[in-house]
Amino acid sequence: MPILVFSFILVALKVSIRLPDEVENQPLHAKLRRIDVFGSFTLVGMVGCLLLGLSLKSTEELPWSHPLIWGLLLASVVFCVLFIWVETSYSPFPVMPMRLVKQRTPLFVSLSNFFGSVAAFSMTLVAISTGSVFAGWVMRRTGRLYNLTLFSCLLTVFAASLVAMWDENSAAFHLWFDIVPQGFGMASVITTTLIAMIASVTREDLAVATGITYLFRTTGQVIGVSLSGALLQSVLTAKLRERIEGPDAVSIIEHIRHSTTIIPTLEPALRKAAVDSYADALRVVFICQAAINFICFLCCLPIQENPLPGTHEEQEEAWKRRDTISRTNSEDSA
């Protein structure tokens, strides 16, 4: 709570965004009508129910058939339908304009951020800061991002494939070296795709487009952690039940599932069963991660390459040209 209050005060004092004159001169009640209350409510309901259902499935170990789990997931679907309807047909100033999501680059940037975050946050990240700086440096020097985005995505697929091949004979350096490309590549992807989103929309849509990117990214992060945890526990339980039998099997399995600290204290046969079961479960998680990274790569393919102006004056000129083209297209379609 103190951090939240501090953040609110800091933003209120330091962030000053000038609104367009036609909005700035409106009375307060007219400005308040621009807030998409129903869109925000249904969006929070959709994401909240989805994340809560997945979190409970993972942390509380509830079965998918539990009324609370499928009820929350069903509620998420209902909120999703309502959200799309509100944003399409009801709200005059939608928080997520469907016309923007339907555009090629914003759509696939959002999807790539979602799948990339699902994959990245199911594994401990390293080199993420370096990857972001490297991506910014390359884009600054070359003025391009498409090839860098695809290369970075392939780097994450390569890293996840290396990790999936770990076994008891893998050298210790693999534990550090193999996960570095994952963090480096994904940090580069989230940087280049954000710039791609910004470069593909008009100035009036810039804030909304950025918000959409972060929405998909943060949702993917939580879903990645929840899904990987649920998958790990599911496979681990099945493998332990295959390998451990006897009158105390249920108790031993539960102790192993809830804490790895018990493994060194087990007798050799049970210790091997526990280690092998964890290895099998983690391998399944990493294979799924590699597959999701590949989906992220596929989502990056349709992203359009837009020139990236360097100086402030060039950026202003690019914005003016893009706004002019957008207005011309709108007038032509009208």
% of the chain surpassing 90 pLDDT: 6
Residues 15-33 have pLDDT tens digits of 666 666 666 677 777 767 7
Residue 82's pLDDT band, with cuts at 50, 70 and 90, is very high
Q: Is the pLDDT of residue 126 over 60?
A: no
Stretch 56-64: mean pLDDT, rounded?
72
Polymer length of the chain = 334
Q: Are residues 152 and 220 in the same domain?
A: yes
- Residue 5's pLDDT is what? 81
Q: Are residues 304 and 177 in the same domain?
A: yes
Contact 156, 182 (CB under 8 A): yes
Contact 91, 36 (CB under 8 A): yes
Residue 262 falls inside a structural domain: no
Residue 79 falls inside a structural domain: yes
Residue 78's pLDDT band, with cuts at 50, 70 and 90, is very high
Q: Is the pLDDT of residue 311 over 50?
A: no
Residue 60 falls inside a structural domain: yes
Q: Are residues 90 and 180 in the same domain?
A: no
Residues contacting 232, CB < 8 A, separation 6+: 281, 282, 284, 285
Return the structure tokens found at 246.
């006897």
Contact 300, 150 (CB under 8 A): yes
Return the structure tokens found at 286.
């990493």
Residue 331's pLDDT band, with cuts at 50, 70 and 90, is low
- Residue 74's pLDDT is what? 94
Q: What are phi and psi of 326, to 5 degrees?
A: -65, -45
Contact 248, 228 (CB under 8 A): no
Q: Are residues 48 and 128 in the same domain?
A: no
Other CB atoms closer than 10 Å to residue 277's CB: what's the count? 23
Work out how many domains the chain is built from and give that number: 2
Q: Are residues 161 and 68 in the same domain?
A: no
User: For residue 124, what are the domain limits?
Assistant: 97-224+292-314
Q: Are residues 191 and 303 in the same domain?
A: yes
Residue 39 falls inside a structural domain: yes
Give the sign of the dihedral formed by CA 44, CA 47, CA 50, CA 51. negative
Boundary of a domain, candidates 59, 79, 95: 95
Give the sign of the dihedral formed by CA 110, CA 113, CA 119, CA 123. negative
Residue 247 falls inside a structural domain: no
Whole-model pTM: value is: 0.73
In angstroms, the CA 17 to CA 15 distance is: 6
Q: Where are the alpha helices (DSSP H) in the chain?
A: 2-14, 21-24, 28-32, 37-59, 67-85, 98-101, 104-120, 128-142, 146-164, 174-177, 180-200, 206-243, 249-258, 268-300, 312-333
% of the chain surpassing 70 pLDDT: 83
Give 103's DSSP letter. S
Residues 181-234 have pLDDT tens digits of 877 888 888 888 888 888 888 777 777 888 888 888 888 877 887 788 778 888
Q: Are residues 132 and 201 in the same domain?
A: yes
Q: Are residues 75 and 202 in the same domain?
A: no
Residue 279 falls inside a structural domain: no
Q: Is the pLDDT of residue 40 over 70?
A: yes
Q: Are residues 190 and 46 in the same domain?
A: no
Q: Are residues 65 and 159 in the same domain?
A: no
- Residue 179's pLDDT is what? 77
Q: Are residues 172 and 161 in the same domain?
A: yes
102: domain CATH number is 1.20.1250.20
Mean pLDDT of all residues belonging to the chain: 80
Cα distances (Å, whole numbers) of residue 288 to 14, 133, 283: 43, 28, 9
Residue 229 falls inside a structural domain: no
In angstroms, the CA 285 to CA 224 distance is: 10
Residue 272 falls inside a structural domain: no
Return the structure tokens found at 196.
């791609």
**6-20, 55-69, 122-136, 223-237: which range is least confident on average?**
122-136
Residues 271-304 have pLDDT tens digits of 888 889 998 998 998 898 889 989 999 999 998 8
Residues 97-107 have pLDDT tens digits of 888 778 888 88
- Residue 298's pLDDT is what? 92
Boundary of a domain, candidates 49, 69, 95: 95
Q: What are phi and psi of 305, to 5 degrees?
A: -85, 120
Q: At what angle do helices 268-300 and 146-164 cross, to 10 degrees?
A: 160
Q: Are residues 194 and 205 in the same domain?
A: yes
Cα distances (Å, whole numbers) of residue 247 to 237, 250, 251, 252: 17, 8, 9, 10
Q: Is the pLDDT of residue 77 over 90?
A: yes
- Residue 313's pLDDT is what? 53
3-state secondary structure of 20: coil
Boundary of a domain, candidates 79, 95, 111: 95
